[in-house]
Amino acid sequence: MSQLLPVLSTWAPAYLQPTHSQVGPCSPPPQACLLVNLYACILLLLAYYERKRMTWMDSISWTNVRQLPGELKWFYAVYFVITVVRAGWEVML
């Protein structure tokens, strides 16, 4: 992660740059965060195009995700990605 800090300082605004106290052994690698975000955005795109069929949004039973604003849809997509990918890895291992 220390190799990535100089790269982040060249393009990221100051409020997005991690401090040394934020970067630790428990921090997820930035590549994982990027992949989760990409996968969540793909899920949102697929749910938009398949809005007349059942999608992952309909599998969340405690709320109607389709009626939520975009930011909350993204949040639920990230939650869905993390739980599905984690469960998939547990099954494969």
pLDDT of residue 78: 92
pLDDT of residue 7: 47
- A 10 A CB-CB count for 47 gives 19
pLDDT of residue 74: 92
Distance of alpha carbon 57 from alpha carbon 54, whole angstroms: 8
Name the CA dihedral angle for 76, 19, 4, 17, rounded to a multiple of 10 degrees. Answer: 60
Supply the pTM of this predicted model: 0.62
- List per-block mean pLDDT (blocks of 10 residues) for the chain, which spans 93 residues: 49 57 63 88 91 84 88 91 76 55
Q: How many CA atoms lie within 13 A of 32 on its CB side?
A: 9
